[in-house]
Amino acid sequence: MSNNKRLRIAIQKSGRLSKDCQNLLKQLGVKLNLREQRLIAHATNMPIDVLRVRDDDIPGLVMDGVCDLGIVGENVLEEVQAERRNSSASFAVKKLAKLDFGYCRLALAWPQELGAQDKQWFNGKRIATTYPEILSQYLERENIDASVVMLTGSVEVAPRAGLADAICDLVSTGATLEANGLMQGDTILESNACLIQNQELADDDKLALIDKLMPRLRGVKQAKE
Ligand code: PRP
Ligand code: ZN
Ligand code: MG
């Protein structure tokens, strides 16, 4: 558990969510000095520390109480929860809010030259993904007998590199699929960024600070509508 007196918030260091997370913190009135390429940034006007880490590490940091809050994509949250359900690690978190940025979908895709395919085509095929748990659950649900190839990055080049027949990856604008000659199929999961809190957080000062920030968060969301 974090015995630090300052509220610790984990955000993505670099990637799709980073800019929006930094903007959100700014709109919440958290003054940060993010100039240095540091792991931790201390807020100057509130007892808040921001940890900048890989998005995939955020759910675990919050579940284990290393950080009190985290901003992460529902896709990453769901994958880590499924992964941890199979082990003895804690997987519960409190979802405080669904945020209005970071929308993407986890979808199947395959080489364009193969043309349109139905679900049955995936039988006996290899599918590369960074989300093996979510994909396996989908395959089971749909009764598809395919094998899952886990890749932590560059999933979109897997078919061309001969590592897999198809992929299951995040699609936002679709530019990555297009640039790699891939055709988009079924959506397995739709996702937004969300704000999560450690379930066992009991520090009164930290909870009071969160209570102060939540109405501001709702205000920011309303202002955008
Ligand atoms: C996702 C995905 C693609 C890209 C798709 O990566 O893996 O690379 O976004 O977006 P597009 O449809 O707009 O081209 P992400 O930025 O989430 O980062 P990560 O793979 O490093 O976690
Ligand atoms: Zn990632
Ligand atoms: Mg990527």
Q: How far is the CA of 153 from the centre of ligand 3 (A)?
A: 6
Angle, helices 132-141/74-85, rounded to nearest 10 degrees: 80
Fold topology of 104-191: D-Maltodextrin-Binding Protein; domain 2 (3.40.190)
C-alpha to C-alpha distance for 222 and 225, rounded to whole angstroms = 5
Q: How far is the CA of 151 from the centre of ligand 3 (A)?
A: 11
How does strand 166-171 pair with strand 126-129? Answer: parallel
C-alpha to C-alpha distance for 220 and 217, rounded to whole angstroms = 5
H runs (alpha helix) in 71-203: 74-85, 132-141, 175-179
Tokens of 182: 């891939």
Tell which atom from ligand 1 comes closest to the C-alpha of 175: 14
Fold topology of 7-102+193-224: D-Maltodextrin-Binding Protein; domain 2 (3.40.190)
Nearest-CA residue for ligand 1 atom 6 is 170
Complex ipTM, two decimals?
0.91
pLDDT tier, 132 (very low <50, low <70, confident <90, very high otherwise):
very high
For all residues of the chain together, what is the average pLDDT? 95
Ligand number with the minimum distance to the CA of 18: 1
Tell which atom from ligand 1 comes closest to the C-alpha of 155: 7
pTM equals: 0.92
* Beta bridge partners of residue 94, listed in sequence order: 197
Q: Which residues line ligand 1 (CB under 6 A)?
A: 15-16, 55, 155, 169-176
* Beta bridge partners of residue 193, listed in sequence order: 73
C-alpha to C-alpha distance for 109 and 159, rounded to whole angstroms = 10
| pLDDT tens digits, one per residue of 62-120 | 999 999 999 999 999 999 999 999 888 889 999 999 999 999 999 999 999 999 999 99
Q: How far is the CA of 171 from the centre of ligand 1 (A)?
A: 7
Ligand number with the minimum distance to the CA of 175: 1
pLDDT tier, 224 (very low <50, low <70, confident <90, very high otherwise):
confident
Tokens of 110: 């395959």
Ligand number with the minimum distance to the CA of 17: 1
Own/partner contacts of 154-157, CB < 8 Å, gap of 24 or more, are 155/128, 155/129, 155/130, 156/109, 156/180, 156/182
3-state SS, residue 181: coil
Ranges of CATH 3.40.190.10 domains, the chain: 7-102+193-224, 104-191
Q: How far is the CA of 103 from the centre of ligand 3 (A)?
A: 14
CA 82 to chain centre: 13
Q: How far is the CA of 23 from the centre of ligand 1 (A)?
A: 20
